[in-house]
Amino acid sequence: MVKMAGRKLWNDQDVVTAVSLLKGADSSLAEMNDPSLLAIRRAINEDIGNLAALSKIDNDGTILQLNQLANQVDNLRLSGFERDGSPMDKNDEAISGSLSDWKQNLSKSWKSFMDDFITIRRRDSTAIPLLAPNQDIYLRENIRSRLLIASQAVPRHQTEIYQQSLEAVSTWVRAYFDTTDPNTTAFLDSINELEKQPITLAMPTELKASLC
């Protein structure tokens, strides 16, 4: 049972099962009522105490949070494009009501659209890459894909992949979405908290019971 506990510990990082196996081993030895086994029982109980002292990691909770964030991606509001506040009908290029002036009116309407419809604003000195029409669909899918990769890395204890995926999500959200919007702020706060969340434990390199 001690060897099985070691395999569960180092291969799966399954502390709960490892402790259960060690307790089972101790119970079996106790039933033998053999004083010569006190040393190994003492080592087993020391191992149980050491494992119980390890910080608990809620990997299931982490995966659940990542899945919830993936469902919230469509609620994020794009940034970088804002109406400049001037109505399109309040421009200096008055449009004629005459049908004979259709070419001139079309030119004026296009100029009004380009001048007044959108203004690109920068919140900092870094240029924000612009998205083509409908390209935000692919951006949101990429964000969801990164969150999925992060959630898959959790049970595999792949810390580097987990961190890189969350960093990519944070970078994309800050670059393309409105960071003043409450939904975006809450989303980024959750990402920051998840980045601090460890997905691996500092396991002991050996079990004392295995040395007896």
| Inside any domain, residue 84 | no
| Inside any domain, residue 96 | no
The per-residue pLDDT for range 171-190, each reduced to its tens digit, is 999 999 999 999 999 999 99
Q: How confident is the model at residue 151 (pLDDT cuts 50, 70, 90)?
A: very high
Q: Are residues 9 and 74 in the same domain?
A: no
Q: Are residues 66 and 51 in the same domain?
A: no
pLDDT greater than 60 at residue 154 = yes
Residue 15 is part of which domain span?
Answer: 2-57+202-211
Q: Are residues 147 and 64 in the same domain?
A: yes
| Inside any domain, residue 116 | no
Angstrom CA distances, 106 to 51, 91, 94, 97, stand at 76, 14, 11, 12
Query: Which one is predicted more confidently, 53 or 65?
Result: 65
- The tokens for 153 are 């890395």
- pLDDT of 111: 57
Closest CA to 197 of 170, 164, 159, 165: 159
The beta strands (E) that lie in 153-199 are given as none
